[in-house]
């Protein structure tokens, strides 16, 4: 590890936690294709308690789950068991009953119609199917309320049977699409998604400290999610966890993990699909997953909020053109932090952020447990951390 990187990154983590209104605790790591270049942990797992944040602290990683589900889908593509152009209802018939929302009548009841074409597997990978999340869309929230569709954090199959905000292929809209992909994996493999992950991804990558249901050891090391009020005050929410065990293994949001385990997944992409115990993906498949998959002229962008307690409105790297790969955001121009064009990144609702830069052979992960998303302290800390990695590597 370069000494200057150690000093710079340590300073950023320390400032992020100990500044006024700072994050309760942060774990951050950076890696090259061989091993971690930097590992740091600062702060507490829960404000008001003595347990320090450590490198093996377990966090709900929320949407950082999506790329792992995308990997499981691409393994099926490699085997010829599915095709990205296939209609998704071929594998999950229930998705064929999802309607497009046209509006609401005077009594608040939704007006819907059938989509103009089938949702494909590729639509789900690229977030062009039309699905959203209830906390990113007032219309999705209103539909769920009117039709008694449960929240996605219930980790239930019913929670993803909501509505399309537009016809498939019309535009990029971020939502529950990857949870449907998880159901496709289960249908093709005949097993729960967590079992598939264990056998085909976590095993070859020696990822042990990760799963939809926490082991006793993981639970003992769990960082508590904190709520940041409008005045900046942080309150620990020790009872706030995803259902354990979940009714459904949610391919879009359901994993718990320590950050070091996810670094092994990032390194697999830096090593053309190979892990310490064998190949997870073919090199050609990794290249495919890293390319822009959106039609010409379509971009991925920011998001609105319909639930400010869960997420702020915002956008990553505003002003920089961004598309979508399988299943990551891809920056088509260099970022201010130093990430080159063609790199990948995404995030998790609890203010977790990661990037993968195959051009330079580096990646990183910034983990915290704070709501709402795009926290005013944790997200700038991530940007500073990434910039420090590029400046001092």
Q: Confirm if 353 and 384 have CB atoms less than 8 A apart.
A: no
Q: Same structural domain for residues 37 and 114?
A: no
Domain count, the chain: 2
Report, as an integer, the average pLDDT of 176-194: 98
| Domain end call among 116, 148, 180 | 180
- According to DSSP, the residues that pair with 268 across neighbouring strands are none
Tokens of residue 269, six digits: 């992409």
| Domain end call among 134, 161, 180 | 180
Known catalytic residues?
Answer: 63, 66, 174
| Structural domain for 193, as ranges | 3-75+187-392
Give the model's pLDDT for residue 379: 98
**For 293-312, how does the pLDDT look when each residue is reduced to its tens digit (9 = 90+)?**
999 999 999 999 999 999 99
**For 97-124, how does the pLDDT look when each residue is reduced to its tens digit (9 = 90+)?**
999 999 999 999 999 999 999 999 999 9
Cα–Cα distance measured from residue 283 to residue 271, given in angstroms and rounded to the nearest whole number: 8
- Beta-carbon contacts of 79 under 8 Å, excluding residues fewer than 6 positions away, are none
**Mean pLDDT of the residues in the chain:** 97
**For 194-245, how does the pLDDT look when each residue is reduced to its tens digit (9 = 90+)?**
999 999 999 999 999 999 999 999 999 999 999 999 999 999 999 999 999 9
Q: Same structural domain for residues 251 and 379?
A: yes
Tell me 107's DSSP state.
T
Give the model's pLDDT for residue 393: 85
Give the model's pLDDT for residue 162: 97
Give the model's pLDDT for residue 2: 79
Helix, coil or strand: residue 375: coil
Q: Same structural domain for residues 159 and 44?
A: no
pLDDT for residue 315 is more than 80:
yes
Q: Same structural domain for residues 226 and 95?
A: no
Q: Same structural domain for residues 57 and 123?
A: no
| Domain end call among 180, 215, 248 | 180
Give the model's pLDDT for residue 65: 98
Instruction: Return the CATH number at 351.
Output: 3.40.710.10
Residue with tokens 């999610």, as numbered in its chain: 225
* C-alpha distance from residue 194 to each of 14, 285, 341, 367 (Å): 35, 22, 33, 22
Cα–Cα distance measured from residue 209 to residue 251, given in angstroms and rounded to the nearest whole number: 17
Report, as an integer, the average pLDDT of 329-349: 98
**For 48-88, how does the pLDDT look when each residue is reduced to its tens digit (9 = 90+)?**
999 999 999 999 999 999 999 999 999 999 999 999 999 99
Helix, coil or strand: residue 126: helix
Residue 144 sits at φ, ψ, to 5 deg, of: -60, -40
Give the model's pLDDT for residue 105: 96
pLDDT for residue 1 is more than 80:
no
pLDDT for residue 147 is more than 80:
yes
Q: Same structural domain for residues 362 and 347?
A: yes
Tokens of residue 78, six digits: 């490699």
Give the model's pLDDT for residue 335: 97
Q: Same structural domain for residues 280 and 264?
A: yes
């Amino acid at each position: 590890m370069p000494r200057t990187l150690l000093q710079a990154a340590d300073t950023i983590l320390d400032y992020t936690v100990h500044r006024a209104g700072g994050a309760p605790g942060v774990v951050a790591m950076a890696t090259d294709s061989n091993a971690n270049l930097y590992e740091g942990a600062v702060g507490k797992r829960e404000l008001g308690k003595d347990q320090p944040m450590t490198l093996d602290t377990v966090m709900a990683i929320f949407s950082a789950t999506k790329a792992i589900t995308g990997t499981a889908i691409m393994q099926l593509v490699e085997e010829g068991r599915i095709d990205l152009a296939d209609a998704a209802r071929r594998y999950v018939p229930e998705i064929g009953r999802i309607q497009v929302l046209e509006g609401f009548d005077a009594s608040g009841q939704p007006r819907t119609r059938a989509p103009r074409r089938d949702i494909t597997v590729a639509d789900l990978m690229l977030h062009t199917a039309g699905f959203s999340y209830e906390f990113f869309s007032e219309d999705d929230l209103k539909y769920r309320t009117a039709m008694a569709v449960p929240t996605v954090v219930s980790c239930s199959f019913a929670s993803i049977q909501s509505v399309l905000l537009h016809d498939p292929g019309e535009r990029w809209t971020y939502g529950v699409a990857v949870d449907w992909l998880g159901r496709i994996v289960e249908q093709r493999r005949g097993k729960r998604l967590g079992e598939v992950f264990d056998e085909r991804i976590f095993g070859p990558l020696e990822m042990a400290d990760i799963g939809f249901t926490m082991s006793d050891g993981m639970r003992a090391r769990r960082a508590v999610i904190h709520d940041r009020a409008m005045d900046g005050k942080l309150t620990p929410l020790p009872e706030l966890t995803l259902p354990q065990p979940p009714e459904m293994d949610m391919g879009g949001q359901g994993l718990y993990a320590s950050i070091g385990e996810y670094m092994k997944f990032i390194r697999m992409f830096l090593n053309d699909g190979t892990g310490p115990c064998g190949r997870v993906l073919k090199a050609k498949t990794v290249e495919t997953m890293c390319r822009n998959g959106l039609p010409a002229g379509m971009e991925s962008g920011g998001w609105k909020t319909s639930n400010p307690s869960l997420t702020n409105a915002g956008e990553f790297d505003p002003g920089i053109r961004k598309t979508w790969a399988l299943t990551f955001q891809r920056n088509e121009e260099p970022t201010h932090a130093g990430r080159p064009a063609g790199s990948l990144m995404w995030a998790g609702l609890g203010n977790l952020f990661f990037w993968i830069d195959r051009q330079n052979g580096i990646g990183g992960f910034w983990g915290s447990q704070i709501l709402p998303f795009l926290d005013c302290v944790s997200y700038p800390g991530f940007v500073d951390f990434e910039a420090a990695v590029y400046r001092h590597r």
